[in-house]
Amino acid sequence: MRIEGSWIIEKHTDNVLYLYRVKNHIYHGKTPFQEVSLVELEAFGKTLFLDGKIQSSQIDEAVYHEALVHPAMVTHPNPKKVLIMGGGEGATLREVLRYPVERAVMVDIDEQLVKLCEAYMPEWHRGAFYDERAELVFTDARAYIENSKETFDVIISDLTEPIEGGLSVMLFTEEFYKKVYGRLSEDGILVVQSASADIYYSNFVANVYTTLKQVFPIVKVYHAYITSFQLDWAFTFASKKYDPEEVDEEAIKNKISKFENELKFYTPQIHGALFKLPKYLKENIERNGRVIRDERPEIWQS
Amino acid sequence: MRIEGSWIIEKHTDNVLYLYRVKNHIYHGKTPFQEVSLVELEAFGKTLFLDGKIQSSQIDEAVYHEALVHPAMVTHPNPKKVLIMGGGEGATLREVLRYPVERAVMVDIDEQLVKLCEAYMPEWHRGAFYDERAELVFTDARAYIENSKETFDVIISDLTEPIEGGLSVMLFTEEFYKKVYGRLSEDGILVVQSASADIYYSNFVANVYTTLKQVFPIVKVYHAYITSFQLDWAFTFASKKYDPEEVDEEAIKNKISKFENELKFYTPQIHGALFKLPKYLKENIERNGRVIRDERPEIWQS
Amino acid sequence: MRIEGSWIIEKHTDNVLYLYRVKNHIYHGKTPFQEVSLVELEAFGKTLFLDGKIQSSQIDEAVYHEALVHPAMVTHPNPKKVLIMGGGEGATLREVLRYPVERAVMVDIDEQLVKLCEAYMPEWHRGAFYDERAELVFTDARAYIENSKETFDVIISDLTEPIEGGLSVMLFTEEFYKKVYGRLSEDGILVVQSASADIYYSNFVANVYTTLKQVFPIVKVYHAYITSFQLDWAFTFASKKYDPEEVDEEAIKNKISKFENELKFYTPQIHGALFKLPKYLKENIERNGRVIRDERPEIWQS
Amino acid sequence: MRIEGSWIIEKHTDNVLYLYRVKNHIYHGKTPFQEVSLVELEAFGKTLFLDGKIQSSQIDEAVYHEALVHPAMVTHPNPKKVLIMGGGEGATLREVLRYPVERAVMVDIDEQLVKLCEAYMPEWHRGAFYDERAELVFTDARAYIENSKETFDVIISDLTEPIEGGLSVMLFTEEFYKKVYGRLSEDGILVVQSASADIYYSNFVANVYTTLKQVFPIVKVYHAYITSFQLDWAFTFASKKYDPEEVDEEAIKNKISKFENELKFYTPQIHGALFKLPKYLKENIERNGRVIRDERPEIWQS
């Protein structure tokens, strides 16, 4: 192989590094909130790095965003109002808008990032930002939740991991989730991207799971492998009323029939399988979690 | 972080490299067949590299070996004789011997590697090599299959990927699988480790799947995420009679009850979920495979 | 340290790699002749890579170009006409034009590269391209030498190493040097950048030295450390009449007095010291060289 | 090239990393004072790393040790007693013992390191440890200097760079050098390995130079390129009486005639050239240094 040339190094952990060969440098800069690199990787196509970590790549952004959005959207019988916290690229919004919702609010603190995504990453949003049902709000998600009176059927937490000094530290605590609970309709559902489900990292998802259990009657972790993260990824499903494992395949099939052809990952058959966890993960979330509170928020260690 | 020190580089593809920090160098040498490095990685613990690629690491060898062995062993109603092709570390054998089999034959071409694993990797074999029911044969798996008259209830293909000039090139072809078919009992099952199920690599599993479809009436791909491979991994299940998706949870629970506590990955609940594939993988194996034949064997490209 | 982010890897040899952190990507593309990357490195400032190898960096381009040009220019008593072979960045030309020459011809095969350097690297040429005494010719240096009738007092070979299939392969042979000899005035001087003087690589300079010894009466190797090459670098001085070690410090002082303040590396005192070689290098060039001929040109191995 | 396999990463600076391919891991461990790795590199042969930085490699240890020892030993007319501070590998001692000295004391704080070098690196000491004239003392060099009454003709400071919290921090200060001055005979010479002479790092040597100027009447910096450091390296020569640039070639030739054949770097001719500095280095040491004092010792930054 030819080793020479331009690479990006990503720190998976202190003990595992990834090197990606760069085909093309598209954008590099800093917003008021984070460092943004948009490059075309030979391996994954166009790829967004925030603060040095891959957020989303062309090869498999659909996998992540479908896994994040569809289980909640098909479990709720009739989601009309949806709130997305984070989700800068616009792809979470795109997946939500496939459904006949009336209103989808996306709250992201980093307006400049969203503008960059709008301009440079049309493959992600595909026009979702211009949908009449969509509203974009540029503020801190916690402030939005605390100040809003509106209720939503589905709330999607599409936030970055809570790194030390980062934007998301106060968005994974019991106190916050209680406020989110208050902004959900009576049969509302919250889904939280919960970082790696890997043997390594699974304490984070264990803590998110344990924390949500304090607030919601039905809490389940599900998982999907994300190529460009090179990790099995966890999502936590928290629900006031509906159990995602009780939705049958036929019902899902009907709900997604209009756009099923456009999906790359999610199918009616895989829905239930996502909730079946490897034994090590199942045991870990059941045994090793702690309740995350404002006074001692969770900091992501990598 | 401290970047200085000893690392191993693994070439994931020409465009993605992995760097693993090494805690301890245990063994490095060449057998007549392959280059062997056994190291202790900070991230994964004791880890075996063959020809520069991770084969197995302490942190998750159980995930791979349980995923490889148990679906077949619980699907067959009463496996008495089992053949393992490859499997040098002895962990596949270890998982097989958890069942009340009468005889388990392991055929590996590389005697020196097996001896190294025996001496340096007791965490893998855990004495399986010394079980009275086990027989070790050091020869080429194809020669063994061609010369044997014995039949087996379950045959497990635990071979390295067929790299150019490598040992496994002629062990993934239709001609070979026909001979394997002949060495299976009337209701026998073959399971083939089929490399990455990733968006990238899935052509390999598509080809293995398509090839096995020429030979067996029931062929299904299943998948599991393997931490130390940093990939979703594919296995192909080929069966004369039994469908792995028709085994019920209760039956599995009974079959594994004696050793269930010792397992790290496999559960009765996850069994069925393994066979639910992401849409991209499902479509790929159904559409993009070719039949691998001796005259044009499959060469693994990374 | 923070390892994340954008790096360039340079292959020093198959066994030694360099990683440079990139601050800014300025230009990347291909001319008809070579791959060009212009980046700003954190360590070296603006840096030009050709075919993956550092050619010149802001931090120390003066060292290389002064070491290449001044020993010949001060040794010749009155250089009026100077020819530069290669030298795309324009910095060799810049150093030549410090002297009261009448005419300086620069022959570089890669017009597009020269245009890129003109536009993006003004710190190198500093207007030299626009000096009335300068002429730029875009053609192969060998063709130029063979077709020209003009003679020069000093000829400077500022060519890339002769890599397999590269542009410079036929520009380091005895046959070529004989033609160069014919294009020099009766007391003319040729200086040849001769790549690394390192223990590793010194066979190349030994071969250049041995080849020039077939053609010129006075041939001497000199050396200087180049930061951004991270190597001691060799130059071969070939002369019809003048010995560079017989020039005295006072004479040099006079010749460079008008621009001495602008120099970063070269001084009257260091002139003689450049020609004093480490014993290993001296012995190597005297013992281990071969005559490079057209029928078996030298190929640079790294 | 084949990228897979075992490498050592060395941090040249935060912005430049070196990767060396490892052929063989010989020893890795920690002494009470430092982390020791002894490996065989493909590029440099057997190589010693201390705290992650190359100290010495087989390919060119002779260059470093000859450059450190011979200029002082030939400048002093009759060195009988020599003190080495540091010098664990025994190669500095080896070079000293080539001369007809009566006594050579080597003071190194790290006995375990010296024992490792003795056992694993015979190519360095070549029996010097067993020479009757040699005495090894395992203690801190400053304590030794402060407690000793003995005087020496030549003292050689072969210490590691003073990294934060490291062993050498208090061994580069004016107060210390004054004490060293007191342990030198009336015409004694001190030579100090002074780290990189590179454009980058030259502040360190400027500070050592400026500090020694407070204490000694004659202070000169000299330099030599060290392959395995991939840097031009500085040494500071501090003398009570003799000027190294006044030693003539013929005198040197006589002094080294008995062992000249065994040297790899040093020659009578190169002696004077070592003291001719690139202009940037000359200006830097004259202009930019500070006096290093105990109250604010110099810390090496890389």
Question: Which among B13, B19, B273 has the least Cβ separation from residue A276?
Answer: B273
Residue C92 lies in a domain: yes
Cβ partners under 8 Å of residue A8, min gap 6? A19, A20, A22, A37, A39, A41, A49, C5, C6, C7
Cβ partners under 8 Å of residue A248, min gap 6? none
3-state secondary structure of A207: helix
Question: Which among B3, B8, B28 has the least Cβ separation from residue D11?
Answer: B3
Contact C6 A52 (CB under 8 A): no
Nearest chain B alpha carbon to A223: B225
Residue C293 lies in a domain: no
Q: How far is CA C29 from CA C39, C88, C114, in A?
A: 12, 16, 13
In 3D space, the residue among A249, A253, A254, A250 whose CA is nearest the CA of residue A272 turns out to be A249
- CATH number of the domain enclosing A27: 2.30.140.10
What letters, b where the CB count within 10 A reaches 16 and e where it falls short, cover B7-38?
bbbbbbeebbbbbbbbbebbebeebebbebbb
Measured between beta carbons, the chain C residues lying within 8 angstroms of B3 are: 1, 3
How far off is chain C from D179, nearest CA to CA, in Å? 34
D5 touches chain B (CB under 8 A): yes
Per the CB < 8 A criterion, the answer to whether B277 and B223 are in contact is: yes
The reported pLDDT for the residue numbered D163 is 87
Is the C-alpha dihedral spanning C65, C70, C72, C78 positive or negative?
positive
Per the CB < 8 A criterion, the answer to whether B190 and B177 are in contact is: yes
The reported pLDDT for the residue numbered C202 is 65
Active site residues of B: 158
| Helix (H) or strand (E) run with residue C226 in it | strand C218-226
Interface test with chain D among B6, B17, B25, by most D beta carbons within 10 Å: B6
- On the question of pLDDT at D278 being above 80, the answer is yes
Q: Identify whether residues D100 and D19 lie together within a single domain.
A: no
Measured between beta carbons, the chain C residues lying within 8 angstroms of B20 are: none
| Helix (H) or strand (E) run with residue A29 in it | strand A16-30
Per the CB < 8 A criterion, the answer to whether D222 and D234 are in contact is: yes
Residue C117 lies in a domain: yes
A3 touches chain D (CB under 8 A): yes
Nearest chain D alpha carbon to B36: D5
Q: How far is CA D180 from CA D96, D150, D216, D238, in A?
A: 19, 11, 11, 11
Is the C-alpha dihedral spanning C163, C165, C166, C172 positive or negative?
positive
Measured between beta carbons, the chain A residues lying within 8 angstroms of D15 are: none
A291 touches chain B (CB under 8 A): no
B193 token code pair: 């480790």
Instruction: Tell me how far apart the alpha carbons of residues D32 and C226 are, in angstroms, rounded to a whole number.
Output: 38
B107 - beta bridge partners?
B85, B137
Alpha carbons within 13 angstroms on the beta-carbon side of residue C237 total 24
Instruction: Tell me how far apart the alpha carbons of residues B158 and B181 are, in angstroms, rounded to a whole number.
Output: 16
Contact A17 B15 (CB under 8 A): no
Q: What digits encode the pLDDT tens for the residues D213-246?
A: 999 999 999 999 998 988 999 999 999 999 999 9
Question: Which among B5, B17, B37 has the least Cβ separation from residue D3?
Answer: B17
| Helix (H) or strand (E) run with residue B134 in it | strand B134-137
**Chain B, chain D: beta-carbon pairs less than 8 Å apart:** 51
* Start-to-end Cα distance in chain A: 30
Active site residues of C: 158
- On the question of pLDDT at D202 being above 70, the answer is no
Residue D293 lies in a domain: no
**Domain housing D22:** 7-54
Q: Identify whether residues B165 and B122 lie together within a single domain.
A: yes
Q: Identify whether residues A121 and A261 lie together within a single domain.
A: yes
Contact C6 A7 (CB under 8 A): yes
Q: Identify whether residues D37 and D103 lie together within a single domain.
A: no
Is the C-alpha dihedral spanning D167, D169, D173, D176 positive or negative?
negative
Q: What digits encode the pLDDT tens for the residues D84-142?
A: 999 999 999 999 999 999 999 999 999 999 999 999 999 999 999 999 999 999 999 99
Instruction: Tell me how far apart the alpha carbons of residues C260 and C266 are, in angstroms, rounded to a whole number.
Output: 8
Q: What digits encode the pLDDT tens for the residues D254-265?
A: 999 999 999 999
Contact A11 C3 (CB under 8 A): yes
Residue C273 lies in a domain: yes
B136 touches chain A (CB under 8 A): no
Is ipTM > 0.85 here?
A: yes
Q: What digits encode the pLDDT tens for the residues C57-102?
A: 999 999 999 999 999 999 999 999 999 999 999 999 999 999 999 9
Q: What digits encode the pLDDT tens for the residues C1-29?
A: 899 999 999 999 999 999 999 999 999 99
Q: Are strands D134-137 and D53-57 parallel, antiparallel or unpaired?
A: unpaired
Nearest chain B alpha carbon to D24: B28
Q: Identify whether residues B40 and B111 lie together within a single domain.
A: no
How far off is chain C from B8, nearest CA to CA, in Å? 14
Q: What digits encode the pLDDT tens for the residues B28-67?
A: 999 999 999 999 999 999 999 999 999 999 999 999 999 9
Is the C-alpha dihedral spanning D116, D118, D119, D124 positive or negative?
positive
**Residue C259 pLDDT class (50, 70, 90 cuts):** very high
Measured between beta carbons, the chain C residues lying within 8 angstroms of A6 are: 6-8, 22, 25, 28, 37
D3 touches chain A (CB under 8 A): yes
The reported pLDDT for the residue numbered D165 is 84
Other beta carbons within 10 Å of A51: 18
Q: Identify whether residues B16 and B68 lie together within a single domain.
A: no
Residue D221 lies in a domain: yes
**Chain A, chain B: beta-carbon pairs less than 8 Å apart:** 119
For chain D, list the strands marked E by DSSP.
5-13, 16-30, 35-41, 45-50, 53-57, 81-86, 103-107, 134-137, 152-158, 184-196, 218-226, 231-239
Q: What digits encode the pLDDT tens for the residues B206-229?
A: 999 999 999 999 999 999 999 898
Q: Rounded mean pLDDT of C197-219?
A: 90
In 3D space, the residue among B58, B130, B129, B119 whose CA is nearest the CA of residue B92 turns out to be B129
Cβ partners under 8 Å of residue B30, min gap 6? B36
C181 token code pair: 């000899």
B265 touches chain A (CB under 8 A): yes
Residue that wins the pLDDT comparison between D201 and A152: A152
- CATH number of the domain enclosing B270: 3.40.50.150
How far off is chain D from B168, nearest CA to CA, in Å? 20
Per the CB < 8 A criterion, the answer to whether A223 and A276 are in contact is: no
Q: Identify whether residues C195 and C157 lie together within a single domain.
A: yes
Cβ partners under 8 Å of residue D41, min gap 6? C15, D8, D20, D21, D22, D23, D47, D57
Q: What digits encode the pLDDT tens for the residues B233-279?
A: 999 999 999 999 999 999 999 999 999 999 999 999 999 999 999 99
Cβ partners under 8 Å of residue C197, min gap 6? C205, C221, C223, C231, C232, C233, C234, C277, C281, D225
Edge-first strand order for the sheet with A134-137 is: A134-137, A103-107, A81-86, A152-158, A184-196, A231-239, A218-226
Contact B20 A18 (CB under 8 A): no
Active-site annotation holder among D108, D110, D158, D232 = D158
Average per-residue pLDDT in chain B? Answer: 95
| Helix (H) or strand (E) run with residue B24 in it | strand B16-30
The reported pLDDT for the residue numbered A69 is 98
Q: What is the DSSP letter of A297?
A: -
What is the residue-level pLDDT of chain A in tens, covering all 302 positions? Answer: 899 999 999 999 999 999 999 999 999 999 999 999 999 999 999 999 999 999 999 999 999 999 999 999 999 999 999 999 999 999 999 999 999 999 999 999 999 999 999 999 999 999 999 999 999 999 999 999 999 999 999 999 999 999 888 889 999 999 999 999 999 999 999 999 999 988 766 689 999 999 999 999 999 999 999 989 889 999 999 999 999 999 999 999 999 999 999 999 999 999 999 999 999 999 999 998 999 999 999 998 76
Q: Identify whether residues C76 and C51 lie together within a single domain.
A: no
The reported pLDDT for the residue numbered C127 is 96
State the DSSP string of C248-279.
-HHHHHHHHTTTGGG-SS--HHHHHHTT---H
- On the question of pLDDT at C225 being above 90, the answer is yes
Cβ partners under 8 Å of residue D300, min gap 6? D161, D162, D163, D164, D166, D195, D204
Other beta carbons within 10 Å of C204: 25
Contact B276 A269 (CB under 8 A): yes
Contact C20 D18 (CB under 8 A): no
B3 touches chain C (CB under 8 A): yes
* Chain centroid to CA D6: 29
Based on C-alpha coordinates, what's the Rg of chain D?
18
User: With 0-12 CB in 10 A as exposed, 13-18 as middle and 19+ as buried, what is A259?
Assistant: exposed
In 3D space, the residue among B143, B119, B144, B139 whose CA is nearest the CA of residue B129 turns out to be B119
Instruction: Tell me how far apart the alpha carbons of residues C191 and A32 are, in angstroms, rounded to a whole number.
Output: 53
Q: Identify whether residues B18 and B83 lie together within a single domain.
A: no
Contact A5 C7 (CB under 8 A): no
C touches which chains (3+ CB pairs under 8 A)?
Answer: A, B, D
Q: Which residue has the tokens 């979470």?
A: A92
Active site residues of A: 158
How far off is chain C from D184, nearest CA to CA, in Å? 30
User: With 0-12 CB in 10 A as exposed, 13-18 as middle and 19+ as buried, what is A91?
Assistant: buried
Amino acid, single-letter form, for residue C81: K
Measured between beta carbons, the chain C residues lying within 8 angstroms of B1 are: 1-3
Flag whether the pTM goes above 0.90.
Answer: yes
Q: Identify whether residues B148 and B232 lie together within a single domain.
A: yes
The reported pLDDT for the residue numbered C247 is 97
Residue C141 lies in a domain: yes
C1 touches chain B (CB under 8 A): yes
**Residue C118 pLDDT class (50, 70, 90 cuts):** very high
B8 touches chain D (CB under 8 A): yes
Q: Identify whether residues B109 and B202 lie together within a single domain.
A: yes
- On the question of pLDDT at D302 being above 80, the answer is no
Residue D103 lies in a domain: yes
D196 - beta bridge partners?
D233
Count of domains forming chain C:
2
How far off is chain C from D221, nearest CA to CA, in Å? 14
Nearest chain A alpha carbon to C41: A6
Instruction: Tell me how far apart the alpha carbons of residues D121 and D117 are, in angstroms, rounded to a whole number.
Output: 5
Q: Identify whether residues C114 and C20 lie together within a single domain.
A: no
Q: Rounded mean pLDDT of C111-116?
A: 97
Instruction: Tell me how far apart the alpha carbons of residues A150 and D302 are, in angstroms, rounded to a whole number.
Output: 55
How far off is chain D from A16, nearest CA to CA, in Å? 13
**Residue C301 pLDDT class (50, 70, 90 cuts):** confident
